[in-house]
Amino acid sequence: MGKTYSIAIDGPAGAGKSTIAKALAKELGFCYVDTGAIYRTVAYFLDLLGVSPKDADGVERYLDELTIGIEYDEEGKQHMIMNGMDVSGEIRTQDISQKASLVSAYPIVREMLLDMQRDVARKNNVIMDGRDIGTVVLPKADVKIFLTASVEVRAKRRYDELIEKGQKAELSQIQKEIEQRDYQDTHRPIAPLKMAKDSVKLDTSDLDIAGVLAEMKRIIGEKIPV
């Protein structure tokens, strides 16, 4: 197999990673891998079984019964398959966001998902987003970008997204949940959210989508021939 390129995008919840990565993947003809969706699928599976994300024994006991598939449709949209069932819609709730953050702290969960993520990157040109892509999953990624924004801006973006989808939302509650997730994701002992040493930091607080995209393309263009 020839050389494949990897672009790693990490950052806290609501920094705009998936919106930007999706658009870039389309433009560059790369495969977009949303790794948060994989952790969400684990959380959703355990939730269906009534296992609390804080119940370490329960998580360990039931993990064996979970098979996760990642599929892509003709439009390049990622679908999460949980034991044969497409759960791509079900995993997108605030409740599952919180639970995914908790289950992602277990080493056994991270280990189970590591090869799956690396395997996609071995076979395809990828733009992969998450929390530990540049530090752990793809430490040799050709481009590493750390996308961030103030917590107020991130909360407002999440709020707008949920309202647009017709879901109920309260801004102050969302900000609280984001702060809690930031804390959990940055303080866990295994693969915490942090900027890789060779990562380029991009604060998107004062940028619109077009502005972020332009800046990202400039950063990427300096590292790989696109």
Contact yes or no for 163/169 (Cβ under 8 A): yes
Contact yes or no for 224/141 (Cβ under 8 A): no
134 secondary structure, DSSP code:
I
Given the complex with ligand DC, which of 100 and 127 has the nearer CB atom?
Answer: 100
Contact yes or no for 137/20 (Cβ under 8 A): no
Given the complex with ligand DC, which of 40 and 157 has the nearer CB atom?
Answer: 40
Q: Smallest gap, in angstroms, from Cβ of residue 2 to ligand DC?
A: 26
Q: Give the residue, chosen from 132, 147, 155, 196, that forms a contact with ligand DC under the rule CB under 6 A.
A: 132
The verdict on 16 binding ligand DC (CB under 6 A) reads no
- Radius of gyration, alpha carbons of the chain: 17
Q: Smallest gap, in angstroms, from Cβ of residue 193 to ligand DC?
A: 7
Q: Smallest gap, in angstroms, from Cβ of residue 130 to ligand DC?
A: 2
Cα 31 to Cα 34: distance, rounded to the nearest angstrom: 10
The residue type at 80? M
Given the complex with ligand DC, which of 13 and 220 has the nearer CB atom?
Answer: 13
Cα 129 to Cα 14: distance, rounded to the nearest angstrom: 12
Cα 182 to Cα 134: distance, rounded to the nearest angstrom: 17
> What contacts 198, CB < 8 A, 6 or more positions away?
134, 144
Binding span for ligand DC by CB under 6 A among 53-61, 66-74, 124-132, 196-204: 124-132
Cα 223 to Cα 195: distance, rounded to the nearest angstrom: 18
Q: Smallest gap, in angstroms, from Cβ of residue 40 to ligand DC?
A: 6
167 secondary structure, DSSP code:
-
Give the CA distances from residue 35 to residues 2, 127, 151, in Å, rounded to whole numbers and listed in that order. Answer: 24, 10, 21
| Residues of span 74-93 touching ligand DC by CB under 6 A | none
Q: Tokens for 9?
A: 């995008």
- Write the binding mask 35 to 74 for ligand DC: x where contact by CB under 6 A, - elsewhere: xx--xx----------------------------------
The verdict on 131 binding ligand DC (CB under 6 A) reads yes
Binding span for ligand DC by CB under 6 A among 45-53, 100-108, 146-154, 197-205: 100-108
Owner of token pair 């866990």: 188
| Residues of span 173-192 touching ligand DC by CB under 6 A | 181, 185
The verdict on 144 binding ligand DC (CB under 6 A) reads no
Given the complex with ligand DC, which of 100 and 200 has the nearer CB atom?
Answer: 100
Query: What residues make contact with ligand DC under the rule CB under 6 A?
Result: 13, 35-36, 39-40, 97, 100-101, 104, 130-133, 181, 185
